[in-house]
Chains A and B, each alone.
Chain A
Amino acid sequence: MKILVPVKRVIDYNVKPRVKSDGSGVDLANVKMSMNPFDEISVEEAIRLKEAGKAEEIIAVSVGPQKAQETLRTALAMGADRAILVVTDEEVEPLGVAKILAKIVAEEQPRLVITGKQAIDDDSNQTGQMLAALLGWGQGTFANTVELDSDSITVKREIDGGLQTVKLNLPAVVTTDLRLNEPRYASLPNIMKAKKKPMDEKTPADYGVDIIPRLTTTNVSEPPVRQAGEKVEDVDALVAKLKAVGAI
């Protein structure tokens, strides 16, 4: 079984984004970029399925700038077998990404796609569900645990208030939540080896899909700043204060 793992290059999880003063977006110049943390969990899960003998090949794919090849190299160093980079300097929305991925799925014929539930830059939480819709496949979103069989996958999902388990016929799309696993770090020898693994370069035009953005961002601003209040000396003062503002 082949597993396709779409990954996105995003601002590093630990960097606090700075909004540009002209309101045109977030300043990404000279900012550390990394693989979207939810996508790292996807890569890890695919590798574990391969290690368990349930998958033969893991293909990592990214739609983004030339530099997204670094993200794909990370996926290869973790354990993916080969990579496809769809190079574009334009911003591609989740709908456009899903359309490109649907074409790649048609070419590569994976039985399973595992991707992060959302990217931590635009926080859309859409691509996996859209891809499943375009392919007419089942979707197991916000996965907490997965169990892969030859013709189905059972996904325990994180839902409001608890967990829900669904069974999907293969092929299917799974999107990962935080508790699915803890991604490994790539070892130095594996980082070296990853440099020799195959990486195909494509462009959106190769897939002939419409990726013209439907949304225009007219402004990006700082969120309203919350002012710090006061510190109290002890618990008695805290209780008095809470009573004074009618909180208790």
Chain B
Amino acid sequence: MKTLVLVEHDNKTMKDATLAVVTAASQLGEVHALVIGSGCASVGEQVAKVAGVATVHVADDAALEHQLAENAAPLIASLMDSHDAFLAPATTTGKNIAPRVAALLDVMQISDILSVESEDTFTRPIYAGNAIATVKSSDAKKVITVRGTAFDKAETEGGSAKIEGVTGAGESGLSSFVSEEIAKSERPELTSAKIIVSGGRALGSAEKFEEFITPLADKLGAGIGASRAAVDAGYVPNDYQVGQTGKIVAPEVYIAIGISGAIQHLAGMKDSKIIVAINKDEDAPIFQVADIGLVADLFNAVPELTSKV
């Protein structure tokens, strides 16, 4: 089987999310990668070094600079004449593009896979991760998105794939890019952070969130996350949100502060290696999944913890 992996990148650097998809694809067959972008030759070179990648297709076109689904999907669909499975990371880019490709191919997509059981059978979470479904696809071609935390990352060195240029159909005329606001931060991105410090509604305000969560995260070199309740209350922007409706993370250490542990939050972080919970309420559901729990008032415990780590 020949697979085609959508590379996650920003026209300069390949993102780690790609590596888990390469691993998933290698369980199906030969791995071909696809870089769509503009001025993205360096990304193609990085992907060519990833262990297990046989060929990198690079579509370098001004119309693809922002990877708009309307321009990207027809190109990917045409490449599927010579590939059997298309796999994209379950990032916002992958989730935007893959279903559009699937519909063009008349294929039912398999979203957010956790494992490859065989070449047509996969497991995936349903009901916010409260159940795991095993699904078998009868489509001749497969369109798949891959949950990054469920697969090991392929090595970024050791490969020597050949690089081939491909051309797309250009502008669809349906949509155009206007602007982008990407939060600039020295902080590690949530999906690749080794440690995450996450705050909940108990913080009480945006100011308190900043005052108590940020110093601890700084000290640990950690990414900052938040529960949906904290996001809804406006303490932090939505891209901090960890949970079924936000980001799915699996760091080495996840420190949940003032987070009760709603089902939808647990769905986003329960694959973390070590979960630490600090909460005033000893009955909070977060303690049922925490490896280390501390029942304490966060406003006392967190500054003390910050000073002692």
Q: Give residues in A with beta carbon < 8 Å to B.
A: 11, 16-17, 19, 26, 93-95, 98, 120-134, 136-142, 144, 154, 157-169, 172, 177-179, 213-223, 226, 228-232, 234-239, 241-242, 245, 247-248
Contacts and interface: CB of A to CB of B under 8 A. Distances in A.
Given A133-B99, A164-B66, A242-B276, 13 more contacts: A16-B263, A26-B130, A161-B182, A169-B175, A179-B238, A216-B138, A220-B126, A220-B133, A223-B129, A223-B132, A226-B275, A230-B293, A235-B308
17 contacts: A16-B130, A121-B127, A123-B126, A125-B99, A128-B99, A132-B69, A138-B172, A141-B96, A142-B95, A158-B239, A167-B176, A167-B178, A179-B231, A229-B291, A230-B291, A235-B296, A235-B308
A214 B110 CA distance: 10
Contacts of A169: 173-175
Contacts of B182: 161-162
Interface of B: 66, 68-70, 73, 91-93, 95-104, 106-112, 121, 125-139, 172-183, 189, 191, 195, 220, 228, 231-232, 238-239, 244-245, 247, 252-253, 263, 270, 274-276, 278, 282, 287-296, 301, 304-305, 308-309
A146 to B, nearest CB: 13
B293 to A, nearest CB: 4
B294 A238 contact: yes
Given A162-B181, A163-B180, A229 B292 contact: yes
Given A133-B103, A166-B177, A234-B296, A17 B109 contact: no
Interface of A is mostly: mixed
Contact of A228 (B103, B111, B172, B290): B290
Q: Which of B73, B130, B239, B270 has the most CB of A within 10 A?
A: B130
A213 B309 contact: no
A95 B107 contact: yes
Contact of B95 (A17, A141, A163): A141
Nearest to A162: B182
Nearest to A139: B69
Contacts of B127: 11, 17, 26, 120-121, 123
Contact of A215 (B96, B108, B304): B108
A95 B128 contact: no
B290 A216 contact: no
B179 A228 contact: no
Given A239-B305, A247-B274, A166 B111 contact: no
A215 B135 contact: yes
A218 B135 contact: yes
A178 B178 contact: no
Contacts of B228: 178
Nearest to A23: B134
Contacts of B181: 162-164
A4 to B, nearest CB: 17
A184 to B, nearest CB: 16
A243 to B, nearest CB: 9
Contacts of B238: 144, 158, 177-179
B239 A214 contact: no
Contact of A26 (B126, B136, B282): B126
B291 A138 contact: no
A127 B100 CA distance: 9
Contacts of A133: 73, 99-104
A93 B108 contact: yes
B66 A217 contact: no
Contact of B136 (A163, A164, A216): A216
A130 B128 contact: no
Given A161-B239, A242-B292, A221 B132 contact: yes
